Amino acid sequence: MNELKSMTGYGRSSIETPFGRLVVEVKTVNHRYSQISSRIPPQLSSLEPKILKSLKHRIARGQIYLNMELISDEGTTFPRKVVVDIDLARQYKRYLDSLRESLGIDEPVSLSLIGSMPGVFELVEPDLDEEKTWRWLEEGLNEALDALDESRLAEGERMKSDMSQRLSLIAGSIERIKEIARNDVERYMRKLSERMREILKGEYDETRLVMEAAMLAEKSDVSEEIVRMESHIKRFEELVESDDPVGRQMDFLLQEMLREATTMASKAISAEIVSETVRMRSEIDKLREMAQNVE
């Protein structure tokens, strides 16, 4: 099944681990490139390169917000250990005793005072078994990314339907322009001929009129623009049905379509064609807004 992906989405997972509950949230919004903003528990920071690699593998384009949280339940805590700097504690004791004697203070130096001094106690994160930790971390991350994908695909499906309808409207305008253009020069020259007969009372150069008609036909010919526009529409329809990241290709193609519509308007000799190009440009602008949110 061919599915279009929006750049906007949200996914969340919550799994039990040996150290409590891991909650992973991934949010994406549209952006020209791929950018990642992450909040990862310090205990898992050594695995950040793997985490970011997984995100880039699953998400081709957009602003990505990742939030990971380890919530410890009662009896399940992340293994850490306390390290005591005995040498530093002895130095504090020696200097505090010296200070006490110098100031004539009888109160002895307490253990609580020494223990509160900077650097005496340090909470150290242990070396992780990264392979085992990555197994459950990857599970939580993939669950959140799967949920994100569902969200992005659902939005993409809505966009796909809307895009197809707007392409049909543009194709309809092209067909009407074809019909109008076939008769435009003939109708215009007939009116001009009638007007000249009125003004000159039938005395005018028929050959000159034919030449004027030929020049007008050449200047107002939009057949090349129509062929290119139809080619662009066909290609865009293929992109809408693609599984690949096609947002940038869509944006480029829509710029080309807008250029063709503008050229048609500049060549038009009838208000009807100008009106159709205005409709086309309006639909193309709406398509460009949507394409900016396609991965």
3-class DSSP assignment, residue 221: coil
Residue 195 and residue 209: Cα distance in Å, rounded?
Answer: 12
Calculate the CA 141 to chain-centre distance.
20
3-class DSSP assignment, residue 222: coil
What pLDDT shows up at residue 277?
95
Residue 87 and residue 97: Cα distance in Å, rounded?
Answer: 15
Residue position matching structure tokens 């279009």: 4
Residue position matching structure tokens 């398509």: 287
Closest CA to 7 of 155, 161, 158, 145: 155
What pLDDT shows up at residue 163?
96
Of 16-20, 138-142, 166-170, the poorest mean pLDDT is in: 16-20
Q: What is the mean pLDDT of residues 243-264?
A: 94
Q: Is the pTM of this model over 0.85?
A: no
3-class DSSP assignment, residue 41: coil
Which residues neighbour 73 within 8 Å (Cβ) at sequence distance 6 or greater? 20, 21
For the chain, the residue count is 295
- Which residue(s) pair with 39 in the sheet? 67
Residue 214 has pLDDT above 70, yes or no: no
What pLDDT shows up at residue 183?
74
Question: For residues 120 and 85, is the Cβ–Cβ distance under 8 A?
Answer: yes
Which tens digit of pLDDT belongs to each residue from 168-183? 999 999 999 988 887 7
Residue 171 and residue 164: Cα distance in Å, rounded?
Answer: 10
- What backbone torsions phi and psi does residue 63 show, to the nearest 5 degrees? -85, 125
Residue 219 and residue 208: Cα distance in Å, rounded?
Answer: 17
Question: For residues 292 and 283, is the Cβ–Cβ distance under 8 A?
Answer: no
Calculate the CA 166 to chain-centre distance.
21
What pLDDT shows up at residue 284?
97
Q: Going from the N-terminus, what domains does the chain have, and what CATH number goes with each?
A: 9-77+129-153 (3.30.230), 81-124 (no CATH), 157-291 (no CATH)
